Every structure is written in C-alpha cells, then in structure tokens.
C-alpha cells in the first residue's frame, strides 16, 4: 500500500499536508492505518487510542543459550524477522503512555534492511537483524489491537491482535518494566490483560500470548474500562478506571485470578477508598471517585499525584500515596473528557464537552486560564515536553509552555502559554466605589485559600484569562481522538484509527514567521497562524499568546 502523503490527498481531498507555526512548517511525513477488512460490526463502540512504546535492547541471556537443532527455534525468530524488517532511523525518541506522562528516551531504534529468510524455513536464517528493540505504535480500532513500527513508512501494521468477545478500549506501556510484562490492555467488558510486547511481536498469531488476566469476565467490575495506566516508579503497580466511577489498583506480581470483594459504595457522590482484606487479593484497592464514568486519568511525571476527569464535569487531583483528594474544579458545561500534566507538574490541562481547553494551577489549586478555538468537544490534550523556551537561561524555570489539543471538530490546535502574562483580568470599578469582582463570580475563588479536598464551581469566565490558539489546522476527515508529541514529530489519531505523523520544522526554517497568515484550504477549512512582527530565533521562536477578556 502506498505510504506517501499524496495517496492521502487522493482519499481526503482538501486536507493540507502541512501547517504553519511561528517556528516553521510542520509537514505530514507519513501515515499509519489498519486493514479495513479486519474491522467488524463492532467498530465504533470503542474510540481509538494511541500509545507509543519504546523497546530497549533485551539483555543477553546468561549463560548463552545452547544451539538448537534446525527448526526448533528458528520459526519464531524468522517470523519476528519478517515482521520487524522495516528500516528505522537512529534517533532520540520518546515514550508516551496512555496516561499522558511523557518520558524522554534516547538511543538507537534502528532495525534496518531486509530479511533474507522465508517463514517456516528449517535452516538457520542468513541475515536476520532483529535486535529486540525499536519504537512502536499501539492503537485499537473495532475489536482489534494493532502494532505498527513508528519509523517504517509502511501504512499497514506489523501485528494485529483480535479479541473475539469484546473490544479493546485502552492500553498503556511501561518502558521500565522489569519482568517483561510491559503492556496493559483494558476491554469494553471490564477484563484487563498484561502481556509482554516483545513476546507479541515474536508470535505470528492473532491472539495474545503469555497473558496475565485480571477481572476475568468482569468478576469484580463488569463496566467498561475507560483508561489504564502504570503507576510511575510503581514497581509493577497499575490502575484501571471504569465507566461506573470506580478505579482499581492492581499488582502485576500477584495472581490475577484471585477473588476479591469490596464493600458496597454507600454514597455514589463521595470519594472513598477500600482495601482488599487479604494480602493475596488482586486488585489490592478500590477507589470510588465519582458518580458516572471516569473518562481519563493522568499521573504526574514523578507519580506523586493522580488527576482524573469524569462524566460529572469535575477535575479531581489526588495525592496518590496518601490516597487523599487535594483539590478539584468543574468545567463550564458538560463532561470533561481528557487531562494531561505539564512536565514539571505545575499545571494540568483539561478538555471536554464545553469545547474549551482549561489550564489548572497546582500551586494555586485553581483554574488560571481557558482557551477557546474548538468548534466541538475537546477529545485530547497534551503538553509538548520537547518544545524549548526561547532565550532560556538554563535555570530550568519554565515560564512558557507549548501544548496541543484535538477535538471532534477534526482540528489540531497548538497553544503557547506564557505564565508571566497569565493574570486575573482587571475588575470592574463601580461609580464612586471600590474595586470588585465581575458580576457572578464569588470572591472566595481568587481571594482566599482553598481548603484541601474542595471541589470548586466554575468561576465566571470574565475573571479568568482567555487564550487563543497559535495554530488551528484541520488534520483529519474524522473526529480526532488523541495526540502525542515526540522529539521529532506530532502524532494525531482519529476516531476511526488512522494515524498521521507530522514532522517538526527543520532547524532554521522560519520563512513563514514574519507575517500573519491565514490559509484557506480547497474545502474551505482555515489554517490560522497568528504572529506578531517576527524576530526569528532559530527554530525556537515563539510569540506570547494574546490574553483576551470574554465578552
């Protein structure tokens, strides 16, 4: 199947293969998709999600394995060689789990050349170069989980794992897993699996191999798994959130089939934590967080805090180790659908059914900015941890951030957040009176310390700074489901499971940074770039976002 961007234009006329930013053009490098014939009638029940998995080189066995007779072990290795024969470039790459935590990973991800063996050959293979490492995309569509080589331009995945009884709905990868089980998969039925990604790549079949099964047949909770995450630095601990407002804590070192029961939740609106009575039980704890679905969870990079957003429209932030609700706040309208931490743990992004992107401060426990630019629900948010601050003095003090958002309006938006300019707007001065807050906003929201564990109502939009996007680009035909930033690119995935890799601007490419540009696509869509009189600083020139007051 052709992998060039021109083939995409033939399928989706009117969509441009680039978008402009103050630092230059992001260009569509290539795409990933799935064989359409593998999708069954169940397609659409689970929105596609995307995970990047970096496999480090597998340590050599000690002592070295004894040579085997021809055919005894060559079948698996030659099959792996056939699957992994695509060429990868050597570059510093990143791993981003499904929980939105970014980790920089550098090293060689090269698996180059072709493999001169035939599958099933009984003789030793002549030129296999599968070295047990690489960078892979994991995504779901319908009742199938797909694995694709990130650095190969082949559109089709190298591995398809079919689920006969339920759809995969979420997944997460741990690059630091010790015992090989590094990939988690949650299903629509509530079932959870942990497997070795490397082992899946080495097996030619369409079923999971080497599985550890948790919550089998929904024995503990039969509601849909909405999101799943490894606990950073958690030594094999992971959490699974469900559509009924419960989050379960598992230990992958314990038997997944051990029965465990928890007391009935007496008040669906209150946060409660229950622990398993037996030390052998798995899951080891249940957190009842909210009434209704938990739509997204995200750990801070150091694993100390857990953020959740749900159907009730609230962001909740917990001290994970203390199992304590710290703070939270409500959306302006409807459910919150996604959340993500800044790399330094100071800010949290949320997006949802109010079509807005919101920025929350962990220092103030408050909403400090909101962004308007999407025309439909915001389905994914992420900070760009690889974006460097211009004129950085090397102190590590971040006063400017770049983040992105995607929505069901098919748009990818990029935003610049300058914290030095994020201030509470000027307040109204009634005639002959003292300064007051704008109408409709309780003064306690800004002027007093928020008690720990308080879930705050949405403040008046007049009293919170408004952001506008730096770039608005229609990236896909179908509604978007998520985005991931890597060192070299931005990845977007639509609801139907099609992935695009947008390569970052080439160093010094600032030809488009000296003017305001509004580009109209052939389908009438607008790619918007808002800049000031330009002062180019290599590829890192950014301009502060406009701070506007709502009408």
Q: What is the pLDDT along the chain (551 residues), one digit of tens a residue?
A: 333 333 443 456 679 999 999 889 999 999 999 887 655 555 556 789 999 999 887 655 444 443 433 333 333 333 333 333 333 333 333 333 343 344 443 333 322 222 222 222 223 222 223 345 789 999 999 899 999 999 999 999 999 999 988 999 999 999 988 778 999 999 999 999 999 999 999 888 899 999 999 999 999 999 999 999 999 988 899 999 999 999 999 999 888 777 678 888 988 889 999 999 888 889 999 999 999 999 999 999 999 999 999 999 999 999 999 999 999 999 999 999 999 999 999 999 999 999 999 999 998 889 999 999 999 999 999 999 998 866 555 555 547 899 999 999 999 999 999 876 665 544 433 333 333 333 333 333 444 567 888 899 999 999 999 999 999 999 999 999 999 999 999 999 999 999 999 999 986 554 444 333 333 333 434 444 443 323 222 333 333 444 444 44
Q: For residues 519 and 472, what is the distance between their CA atoms, to the nearest angstrom?
A: 10
Q: What is the CATH number of the domain that holds 298?
A: 2.130.10.10
Handedness of CA 460, 463, 465, 466 (dihedral sign): positive
Q: Which of these, 359, 273, 269, lies nearest to 315 by C-alpha position?
A: 359
Any domain includes 470: yes
Model-level pTM?
0.76
326 contact partners, CB below 8 Å, separation of at least 6: 305, 317, 318, 319, 365, 452, 453
Q: 229 and 194 in contact (C-beta within 8 Å)?
A: no
Q: Which of these, 341, 308, 152, lies nearest to 241 by C-alpha position?
A: 308
Using only C-alpha atoms, the chain has a radius of gyration, in whole angstroms, of 24
Q: For residues 305 and 545, what is the distance between their CA atoms, to the nearest angstrom?
A: 28
Q: Which of these, 210, 195, 188, 215, lies nearest to 283 by C-alpha position?
A: 215
255 contact partners, CB below 8 Å, separation of at least 6: 280, 282
Any domain includes 255: no
Handedness of CA 59, 65, 71, 72 (dihedral sign): negative
Both tokens of residue 110? 């090269």
pLDDT value of position 509? 56
Any domain includes 288: no
pLDDT value of position 60? 52
Q: For residues 545 and 548, what is the distance between their CA atoms, to the nearest angstrom?
A: 9
Q: What is the DSSP letter of 77?
A: H
Phi–psi pair at 416, nearest 5 degrees: -115, 130
Residue with tokens 């985005």: 483
Q: 499 and 33 in contact (C-beta within 8 Å)?
A: yes
Any domain includes 264: no
Cis peptide before 63 (omega within 30 of 0): yes
Q: For residues 169 and 145, what is the distance between their CA atoms, to the nearest angstrom?
A: 9
The sheet with strand 305-310 has its strands ordered as 294-299, 305-310, 314-319, 324-330, 454-456
Q: Which of these, 258, 150, 249, lies nearest to 197 by C-alpha position?
A: 150
Q: What is the DSSP letter of 388?
A: P
What's the number of domains the chain is made of? 1
Both tokens of residue 392? 């950085």
Phi–psi pair at 201, nearest 5 degrees: -70, -30
Any domain includes 273: no
Phi–psi pair at 223, nearest 5 degrees: -85, 160
Q: Which helix (H) or strand (E) holds 326?
A: strand 324-330
Strand partners, 186: 170, 192
Q: For residues 343 and 94, what is the distance between their CA atoms, to the nearest angstrom?
A: 13
Any domain includes 245: no
**CA distance to 183, 418, 531, per residue, from 199 (Å):** 10, 45, 49
Q: For residues 37 and 427, what is the distance between their CA atoms, to the nearest angstrom?
A: 59
The domain in which residue 178 lies consists of 2-63+74-107+119-240+294-430+449-549
pLDDT value of position 252? 92
Strand partners, 266: none
Provide the pairing of β-strand 526-529 with 378-383.
unpaired
Q: Which helix (H) or strand (E) holds 367?
A: strand 366-372
- Residue-level length of the chain: 551
Phi–psi pair at 55, nearest 5 degrees: -95, 115
Side-chain half-sphere CA neighbours of 271 within 13 A: 19
**Burial per residue of 316-354, b for 16 or more beta-carbon CB atoms within 10 angstroms, e otherwise:** bbbebeeeebbbbbbbbeebbbbbbbbbbebbbbbbbbb
């Amino acid at each position: 199947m052709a992998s060039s961007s021109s083939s995409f234009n033939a399928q989706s006329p009117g969509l441009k293969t680039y978008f402009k930013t103050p630092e230059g053009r992001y260009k569509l490098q290539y795409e990933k998709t799935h064989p359409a014939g593998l999708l069954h009638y169940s397609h659409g029940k689970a929105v596609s999600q995307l995970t990047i998995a970096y496999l480090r080189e597998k340590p050599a066995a000690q002592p070295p394995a004894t040579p085997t007779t021809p055919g005894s072990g060559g079948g698996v290795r030659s099959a792996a060689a056939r699957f992994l024969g695509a060429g990868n470039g050597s570059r510093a790459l990143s791993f981003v789990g499904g929980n939105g935590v970014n980790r920089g990973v550098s090293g060689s991800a090269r698996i180059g050349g072709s493999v001169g063996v035939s599958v099933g050959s009984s003789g030793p293979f002549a030129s296999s170069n599968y070295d047990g490492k690489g960078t892979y995309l994991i995504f779901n569509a319908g009742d199938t989980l797909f694995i694709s080589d990130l650095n190969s331009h082949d559109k089709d995945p190298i591995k398809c794992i079919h689920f006969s009884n339920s759809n995969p709905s979420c997944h997460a990868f741990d690059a630091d897993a010790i015992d090989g089980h590094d990939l988690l998969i949650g299903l629509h039925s509530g079932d959870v699996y942990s497997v070795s990604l490397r082992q899946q790549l080495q097996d030619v079949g369409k079923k999971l191999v080497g599985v550890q099964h948790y919550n089998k047949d929904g024995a503990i909770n039969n509601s849909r798994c909405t999101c799943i995450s490894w606990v950073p630095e958690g030594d094999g601990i992971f959490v699974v959130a469900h559509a009924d407002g419960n989050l379960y804590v598992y230990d992958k070192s314990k038997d997944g089939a051990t029965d465990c029961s928890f007391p009935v939740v007496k008040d669906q609106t209150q946060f409660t934590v229950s622990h398993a009575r037996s030390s052998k039980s798995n899951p080891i704890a249940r957190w009842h967080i909210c009434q209704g679905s938990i739509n997204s969870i995200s750990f801070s990079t150091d694993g100390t805090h857990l953020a959740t957003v749900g159907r009730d429209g609230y962001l909740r932030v917990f001290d994970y180790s203390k199992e304590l609700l710290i703070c939270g706040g409500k959306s302006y309208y409807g459910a919150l659908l996604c959340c993500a931490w800044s790399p330094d743990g100071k800010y949290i992004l949320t997006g949802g059914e109010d079509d807005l992107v919101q920025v929350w401060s962990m220092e103030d426990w408050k909403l400090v900015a909101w962004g308007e630019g999407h025309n439909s629900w915001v389905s994914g948010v992420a900070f760009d941890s690889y974006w460097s601050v211009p004129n950085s003095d090397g102190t590590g003090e971040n006063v400017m951030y770049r983040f992105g958002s995607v929505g069901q309006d098919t748009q990818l938006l990029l935003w610049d957040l300058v914290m030095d300019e994020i201030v509470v707007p000027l307040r109204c001065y009634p005639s002959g009176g003292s300064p007051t807050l704008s109408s409709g906003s309780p003064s306690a929201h800004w002027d007093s310390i928020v008690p720990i564990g308080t879930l705050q109502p949405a403040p008046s939009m007049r009293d919170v700074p408004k952001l506008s996007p730096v770039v608005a680009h229609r990236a896909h035909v179908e509604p978007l489901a998520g985005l991931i930033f890597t060192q070299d690119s931005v990845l977007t995935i639509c609801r139907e499971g099609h992935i695009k890799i947008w390569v970052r601007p080439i160093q010094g490419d600032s030809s488009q940074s000296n003017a305001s540009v509004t580009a109209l696509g052939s389908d009438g869509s607008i790619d918007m770039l808002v800049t000031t009189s330009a002062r180019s600083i290599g590829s890192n020139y950014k301009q502060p976002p406009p701070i506007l007051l709502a009408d």
